[in-house]
Structure 1
Amino acid sequence: MSRLSSQTLAQLPADVIRPAYDRAAVKCGVVHIGIGAFHRAHQAVIFDNALNAGDLRWGIVAASLRSPGVRDQMQPQDGLYTMLVRDGAAQRARVIGAVQRIIVAPEEPQALLAALASPDTHIVTLTITEKGYKLDPATGALIEADPQLAADMVSLDAPQTAPGYLVAALARRRAAGLSPFTAISCDNLPHNGARLRGAVLELARRHDAALADWIAQHGAFPETMVDRIVPATTAEDIAALATRLGVEDQAMVKTEPFLQWVIEDRFCGPRPNFGAGVQLTAAVAPWEEAKLRLLNGAHSGIAYLGGLAGIDHVHEVLALPEARHFVEALWDEAERTLSPPPELDVAAYRRDLMARFDNPTLRHRTRQIAMDGSQKLPQRLLAPIAARLKAGDGIDALALAVAAWIRWQAGRDDSGAPHHVDDPLAETMAAALADKQDTADRVAAILAFDAVVPPALARDDRLRTSLNPWLAILETNGALAALAAFRGVME
């Protein structure tokens, strides 16, 4: 079967939405670092909307800092791919044309630097996951022991990290008399704009204090919050779409109808008319906090408990009454820690979240969500725990979610089947747990990781007292028994 491409675009069924602009006339005003499925279903769609509206400045040069996988999927397709929006029985296919070029940074570091330094580039977006910023999750400081970052601290001739590429490109722009670009982190980091700015300034200062001062004065690093559920694409998805389209699309993404992008109104150059789904605001933090603690916090709890129980997908976990009860209780606890903006109706947001989680056509895998837990838990679960303990409130649901994450580190589910613990600290945590003989010792070993658990929180006996019994139930009787016990305790 032929591939989706510029040549085969006209062959697609009439109901498939396709670019309404001349792709040959597009200029690339955006460089995106981290060309994964989420970007293709989120930010790329927003810039594609701007192109469809007639503003042809917002094509994308996309880059991968690691694998050539996405490049190899998209390059034979001229950068085109299908976004399949699924809502129950309804499906809508749209071909996105915003991505004009894909660079694999380790293969072509100078090409990425040239794109970042181009006069056409006004905005740089990043979806590199929490670990890609090389920042300590607890303090926000650069992890100087990281070998890639250590190399960038010595030389930026061929950068190896995202902060390294940004600093090197900003140095080129300054030397050429160009203004900086607006750099937008689209990852689930607390205060992601401030953290990205801090990483760039700290690394720049290691090389050139005057450059750091110039970036601080003229650059822009807006805070942002992104929200859309984008499950991993499977071989079955690709085959089913090929049957529908009559061409094969190796780069397709599947997603839900919901899309939200809240951006701090802080830019240092041109920006598009973002349109539907995007909200510019003076303060992103309340939106970010609500999303991290409600959507992402619940997702983590569902992922670890469901994964331990051998349940593959989010909607299947929530088919259990005990699991729905747990999620609502977790939301009750987390909601008390929020300061929502006036525009956010938290009760309606919770209802919408449950409906999104229940969408059976997304088939969002628990193991996909379970990745990189050590990077995600500080903002999703540990921050609301700290806030509730400070207020003297209970943490039963939040503690059960954290205990399930600790149990996940054992690498086996409740049936004894092995699973891969996909986490940058997996080996270190496994070693720390290896010789621990009882539950309390295992909890203490995990709480000792100050890169994950803030030391003040780790020393709080109320946290240990809450975690120990839940981990004991999980280890002895399993996740389903823990959910049943939680419902019994709460009722």
Structure 2
Amino acid sequence: MIPLLNKSYVLNHPATGVSGSHFAFPEKVLQFGTGVLLRGLVDYLIDKANKQGIFEGRVVIVKSTPGAVSEFTDQDNLYTTHIKGIAGGKLVNSSLINASISRVLQSNAEWQEVLKTVHQSTLQIIISNTTEVGIQYVEENILQGVPASYPGKLLAVLWERFQHFKGAAGTGMVIVPTELVVNNGQLLREIIGQLATFNQLPAAFMTWLDTENHFCNSLVDRIVPGKPHNLAELEEKAGYTDKLWIDVEPFLLWAIEGNEQVKSILSFHQADPRMLITPSITPYREQKLRILNGSHTVSVPLAYLSGLNTVHECMEDPYMKAFFQTVVLKEILPTIADIGPQVAAFAQDVLDRFANPFIAHKLLSITFQESSKMNARNVQTFCRYYAGQQQLPAKMCLGFAAMLLFLKPVKQETGKYYGKRGEEWYVINDDNAAVFAAYWEQVTLTDETTIGAMVAGICSNTRLWEEDLSKLPGFTAAVTTHLLGMLQQGVTAYTAGYSKV
């Protein structure tokens, strides 16, 4: 029988890289959330630093969702991180055992224990990932029972810290939310202040909150699929069973806004240059939005209408692989301000991530809210490219036309619009679906005049786009040509014959 991964197992197997000293490190981090992103990114970096003798601290986790924590306790909070994918153009397939977690506390059942964690002077860091919905203001009394919201729990913890140390200097916390919300640290601080006022907490606490604590904006990026489908096979090879096993891609980025004091407290950043502590994370948010998200948005409708179903399939298809490469490296990258080695490396990393054979990223899921994503991620890229090059980004223009074709409804049922690829129906999950349906109703499919009028109307619609794209020289004409060609010849035939793209 294969043994369970636990403390006894690793101490009897030195090759795991986990020693007795790793279990003796003090608790330095309070983490809200047991999810795979935190375990695959934050806890991965802490474990990496511990094994390099840098941070030497452990993580106590608060589980706010219902259910027991026995999966963690049964394994002494150990779990496998399996890194699979492409990095530097080469296949990566390696695994490690993470020993960074000391305890997992269930918030409803063990709330007093959660509060006691911040009595430790060594504990100076609070991390969270409670989904975007988690950072919301909920008017509640945080002094009676267990607060329902994450900000409520956080305020209760900070109030407990303040009372225990009597508001002394140097007793504040570095608080880093990882929820995918712009300016997440700033937003969380505003909610905490509002909630503290509602709870009538004293002025001394409000001063301590401002002067002793750091709420840091942060940006995280790593795909963590979680448990693999072939877990039994992997456990057989590893020699132990692991209910907490997670797969992660090789790439990671964690950018945090902070000063030198924050950098000193988050010393585990020294273990990996991909964890960045900087005065502003705006450039990193910009590069992710434009290069990674933008290339997805402008390429995926074309790929899907060409008969492909996942991002990896795109990178196996010669035409779409070349399309992605040109969009990323030649059309989007030149529009990023202050291109340096880090940004260029990020662009190459993006292409490696797209080529990861272990992640089946479905194209249809990426098309969710396609038009609003096109506006947020690519409209400025079109404008910047033209301003810098005095010409249009050819492949992105084709991608924009493919988006219009993807948003062409063929039928409407139960309030939903459907498009069609061959004999397959797909739901158009876009809040602007009705707007595009109204444009398409005015069109004769093979008539250049009506197609051109529709494209001109869409491009000039500043309710859809933050810029009037019809004013971009040649844009409307290029999109019209592509759209008419795909309608007349079919997507695959048109792209194969369009030599200039």
CA contact (8 A) 1:113 1:165 kept: no
Report 1:264-343 matches (<5 A). Answer: 264-266=257-259, 267=261, 270-274=265-269, 275-277=271-273, 278-299=275-296, 311=308, 313-331=310-328, 332-340=330-338, 342-343=340-341
Letter in 2 for 1:5: N
User: Which segments of 5 or more consecutive residues in structure 1 lack a partner in the other structure?
Assistant: 135-148, 442-454
Q: 2-side partners of 1:242 and 1:471: how far apart?
A: 51
Report 1:271-420 matches (<5 A). Answer: 271-274=266-269, 275-277=271-273, 278-299=275-296, 311=308, 313-331=310-328, 332-340=330-338, 342-346=340-344, 348-360=345-357, 362-366=358-362, 370=366, 382-386=376-380, 388-389=382-383, 396=397, 399=400, 414=421
Among all aligned residue pairs of Structure 1 and Structure 2, give the percentage whose two residues are the same amino acid: 19
The 1:76–1:194 alpha-carbon spacing in structure 2 relative to 1, beyond 3 Å, is: same
CA contact (8 A) 2:375 2:466 kept: no
Q: 1:244-282: CA deviations, max 9, x gaps?
A: 112211211222333333333334683324322333333
* Equivalent in the alignment of 2:74: 76
Distance apart, 1:239 and its partner CA: 1.6
The 1:109–1:388 alpha-carbon spacing in structure 2 relative to 1, beyond 3 Å, is: farther
* Equivalent in the alignment of 2:176: 184
Distance apart, 1:84 and its partner CA: 1.4
Distance apart, 1:461 and its partner CA: 5.2
Distance apart, 1:235 and its partner CA: 2.7
Among 210, 218, 240, the alignment partner of 1:216 is 210
The 1:223–1:435 alpha-carbon spacing in structure 2 relative to 1, beyond 3 Å, is: closer
SS in 2 for 1:196: helix
Distance apart, 1:420 and its partner CA: 9.8
User: Which segments of 5 or more consecutive residues in structure 2 lack a partner in the other structure?
Assistant: 410-415, 442-461
The 1:183–1:420 alpha-carbon spacing in structure 2 relative to 1, beyond 3 Å, is: farther
Q: 1:151-206: CA deviations, max 9, x gaps?
A: x3132242233322222222222233253311112344333433333343344344
Q: 1-side partners of 2:200 and 2:347: how far apart?
A: 47
Report 1:13-412 matches (<5 A). Answer: 17-54=16-53, 57-66=56-65, 68=67, 71=69, 73-87=71-85, 90-105=92-107, 108-115=110-117, 118-134=120-136, 149=137, 152-156=138-142, 157=144, 158-176=146-164, 177-178=166-167, 179-208=171-200, 210=203, 211-236=205-230, 238-266=231-259, 267=261, 270-274=265-269, 275-277=271-273, 278-299=275-296, 311=308, 313-331=310-328, 332-340=330-338, 342-346=340-344, 348-360=345-357, 362-366=358-362, 370=366, 382-386=376-380, 388-389=382-383, 396=397, 399=400
Letter in 1 for 2:255: V
Q: 2-side partners of 1:404 and 1:206: how far apart?
A: 51
SS in 2 for 1:318: helix
Letter in 1 for 2:35: G
Letter in 2 for 1:290: Q
So what's the TM-score if we normalise by structure 2? 0.71
Distance apart, 1:68 and its partner CA: 4.2
Q: Quick check: 308-317 or 118-127, which moved more?
A: 308-317
Q: 1:348-385: CA deviations, max 9, x gaps?
A: 4323321232232x3243279749x56x9978861442
Distance apart, 1:241 and its partner CA: 1.4
Q: 2-side partners of 1:62 and 1:416: how far apart?
A: 49
Distance apart, 1:48 and its partner CA: 0.9
Distance apart, 1:44 and its partner CA: 0.7
Distance apart, 1:97 and its partner CA: 0.6
Distance apart, 1:30 and its partner CA: 0.8
Q: 2-side partners of 1:483 and 1:202: how far apart?
A: 58
SS in 2 for 1:363: coil
Q: 1-side partners of 2:333 and 2:187: how far apart?
A: 25
Higher share of residues assigned strand: 2
* Equivalent in the alignment of 1:3: 4
Letter in 2 for 1:234: P
SS in 1 for 2:151: helix
Q: RMSD of the TM alignment (CA)?
A: 4.6
Q: 1-side partners of 2:115 and 2:483: how far apart?
A: 51
SS in 1 for 2:48: helix
So what's the TM-score if we normalise by structure 1? 0.72
CA contact (8 A) 1:129 1:188 kept: yes
Q: 1-side partners of 2:26 and 2:364: how far apart?
A: 35
CA contact (8 A) 2:290 2:378 kept: yes
The 1:214–1:402 alpha-carbon spacing in structure 2 relative to 1, beyond 3 Å, is: farther
SS in 2 for 1:51: helix
Q: 1:282-308: CA deviations, max 9, x gaps?
A: 332212211232123334566676677
Q: Quick check: 91-100 or 279-288, which moved more?
A: 279-288
The alignment covers a number of residue pairs equal to 448
Q: 2-side partners of 1:104 and 1:336: how far apart?
A: 49
Q: 1-side partners of 2:482 and 2:438: how far apart?
A: 10
Letter in 2 for 1:297: G
CA contact (8 A) 1:385 1:398 kept: no
Letter in 2 for 1:41: G
The 1:383–1:357 alpha-carbon spacing in structure 2 relative to 1, beyond 3 Å, is: closer
Q: Which has the larger radius of gyration?
A: 2
SS in 1 for 2:148: coil
The 1:113–1:222 alpha-carbon spacing in structure 2 relative to 1, beyond 3 Å, is: same
* Equivalent in the alignment of 2:446: none
The 1:311–1:383 alpha-carbon spacing in structure 2 relative to 1, beyond 3 Å, is: closer
CA contact (8 A) 1:287 1:341 kept: no
Q: Quick check: 390-399 or 308-317, which moved more?
A: 390-399
